[in-house]
Amino acid sequence: MSIGDLRHRIIFQRLTSAVNENGFDIEAWQDYKTVWAAVSNLNGREYYQAAAIQAEKTVKFLIRHIESVDTSMRILFKDKQYNITSIDNMKYENKYIEIKALEVDSSG
Per-residue pLDDT at 3 exceeds 90: no
Question: What is the CA angle 69-15-102, rounded to 5?
Answer: 65
Residue 18 lies in a domain: yes
CATH code of the domain containing 91? 2.40.10.270
Each residue's pLDDT tens digit, 54-72 = 556 889 999 999 999 999 9
Residue 87 lies in a domain: yes
Distance CA 97, CA 85 (A): 13
Distance CA 9, CA 38 (A): 9
Residue 84 lies in a domain: yes
Distance CA 83, CA 74 (A): 5
Residue 62 lies in a domain: yes
Residue 108 lies in a domain: no
Mean pLDDT over each residue of the chain, to the nearest integer: 87
Domain span including residue 99:
3-103
Residue 65 lies in a domain: yes
Task: Pick the more confident residue, 52 or 84.
Answer: 84
Residue 51 lies in a domain: yes
Residue 34 lies in a domain: yes
> What is the tally of structural domains in the chain?
1
Per-residue pLDDT at 93 exceeds 60: yes
